[in-house]
Amino acid sequence: MNELAISLDTKSKVPLYEQIYQYVKQEIQNGRIPNGEKLPSTRSLCRFLEVSRSTVELAYEQLLSEGYIEAEPCRGYFVSELEGLYQLKPQNQKVLDDPDKKCVQYRYDFSPSGVDLKSFPYNVWRKLSKESLMDDRAELFRLGHPQGEWGLRNAISHYLHQARGVNCSPEQIIVGAGNDYLLMLLATVMGQNHKVALENPTYRQAYRLFKNLSYEVCTVDMDAKGMSVSELEKSGADIAFVMPSHQYPLGIVMPIRRRMELLRWAEQEGRYIIEDDYDSEFRYKGKPIPALQGYDNHEKVIYIGTFSKSIAPAIRMSYLVLTPQLLKQYQERSSFLSSTVSRVDQLILQKFIEEGYYERHLNKTRALYKSRHDTLLSALKGIEPVARISGENAGVHLLLTFQGGVREEELISRAEEEGIRVYGLSEYYVAPEPDSPATILLGYANMQEESIRKAIEILRNIWGVPGCESD
């Protein structure tokens, strides 16, 4: 080949070298310049195209580095052998709308996983965020400690000790982007070949996660005190995943005797308890129940906590407290994994805790949730002939167990017709529980008091609850 008849557009925004590169590349791709063909020299091509030699050199270099052409010393440039059909995939770029935007709107939503976001301390968070992004904090943008920053882990360990009776040093804490991630990480620490027992009903996310991580998973039935330890023993599981402070979804607080039975079960070699303490901050009678971890003398309890409920779900910060043995395993097997939380966010949260904002925020939201809780209970007054209330002493939801043969789906769909979303207990059962009476969960964290009153008034009517004459 003597020359390349490229029509260059000198007015185009595309640089000349790129026009040459693009042209030659396409000619090669289309097979118009065959394999093994010698290209014109840079010297001759630049004269022919009336461009500078460096422009042609740049184009050839790009073709060389992508492998379309090859340079042979003293001989020149040759088209590489590109066997087989080869085509650039056609562009199918469109501007697309978010497909998740269309979803059913409810007038009232009693979501049990709601959080009141109006009370999120925006001003404080913004202030702390600004402070954390000062110009001289370049260090903050380097990769941090895989377990999370020491300052934050220190603040969490103090908080856990004071508020939850958890005994741990900052070394044992791993900060991570949510419970799901931390349980995945924990699986890398514990390795394969475990059988995990979960309460039934339970937090389905945890069940699916353990399944997904290829663990053998089983469920253990609950009585009024929580997971049955004799059933647990029979199950053959070596790991028990429990929520002793406030079981989700049943709201059961595990009494001390059951806790001790559970700890005794775990004493056997190789057994562990994972304690998920997801919303123990919210308790309306007396002080919070101390965590199971605080009673553990044999280093058998792995504690997992989150700021999703107590601050906001979207800040994505949770923490794991490992036992000393598992910490050793973590250091050997998994500490090469980078942290999943931005250091800026960690610093904001550390300041939030250390400067007393967290405590104030907890007190504020606890008071708010308590008054919503009280409003809900008072709106439900007189419901007993129809349904029994349970799980109302803690957390941000309660349960209504309906007497008689009414079906859960019917209760839910009748509420839905009125624009009210309520949640059925059956969706939390992992193993089937066929004979249990219809049970509805009512979450109130994200409902204004006025909305609670209005929605419950409608629900009372459609559920046939006698009027509340005592109000």
| Closest approach of a second copy to the CB of residue 362, in Å | 16
Among residues 58 and 459, whose Cβ is nearest to a second copy?
58
Q: What SS3 class is residue 348?
A: helix
Between 17 and 402, name the residue whose CB sits nearer to a second copy: 17
Q: Do the Cβ atoms of 185 and 381 come closer than 8 Å?
A: no
- Cα 262 to Cα 186, 225, 345, distances in angstroms: 21, 12, 36
Least spacing, CB of residue 467 vs a second copy, in Å:
30
Chain centre distance of CA 90: 36
H helices present in 76-228, as ranges = 122-132, 150-164, 179-190, 204-212
**Closest among 155, 210, 202 to 182, alpha carbons compared:** 210
Is it true that the peptide bond before 466 is cis, omega within 30 degrees of 0?
Answer: no
Angstrom distances, CA of residue 157 to CA of 19, 27, 53, 164, 334: 61, 65, 66, 10, 21
CB of 84 to a second copy, least distance (A): 6
d(CA 8, CA 446): 63
156's tokens: 């969490």
Element (H, E) at 142: none
**Closest separation in Å from C-beta 417 to a second copy:** 26
Nearer to a second copy, 80 or 386 (CB): 80
Rounded Cα distance, 248 and 268, in Å: 27
In the complex with a second copy, which residue's Cβ is closer, 213 or 386?
213
Q: Which residue lies nearer to a second copy by CB, 90 or 434?
A: 90
Q: In the bound complex, what is the minimum distance in angstroms from residue 432's beta carbon to a second copy?
A: 20
- Shorter beta-carbon distance to a second copy: residue 370 or 414: 370
The stretches of 213-282 forming alpha helices (DSSP H) are 229-235, 256-266
- Count helices and strands in the chain by DSSP H and E runs: 14, 16
Closer Cβ to a second copy, 157 or 456, answer by number: 157
Residue 118 per-residue DSSP state: T
Give the C-alpha distances (Å, rounded to integers) separating 178 from 98, 148, 312, 416.
24, 13, 11, 31
Nearer to a second copy by Cβ, of 85 and 469: the residue is: 85
Residue 398 C-beta: closest distance to a second copy, Å: 15
At 262 the three-state DSSP class reads helix
Alpha carbon distance 290, 304 (integer Å): 14
> Which of 294, 419 has the CB closer to a second copy?
294
139: three-class secondary structure by DSSP: helix
Residue nearer to a second copy on the CB measure, 304 or 411: 304
Smallest separation (angstroms) from a second copy to the CB of 138: 4
Residue 156 near residue 319 (C-beta atoms within 8 A): yes
Cβ of residue 411: shortest distance to a second copy, in angstroms? 25
- Residues facing 305 on adjacent strands: 319
Structure-token pair, residue 320: 């794991």
Closest C-alpha among 400, 465, 466 to residue 439:
400
CB of 298 to a second copy, least distance (A): 10
Strand 397-402 versus strand 439-443 pairing type: antiparallel
Q: Whole-number minimum distance, CB 188 to a second copy, in Å?
A: 5
Nearer Cβ to a second copy, position 74 or 314? 314
| Phi-psi region at 62: left, alpha or beta (left = phi > 0; alpha = psi -120 to 50) | alpha
Q: How far is the CB of 306 from a second copy (least distance, A)?
A: 10
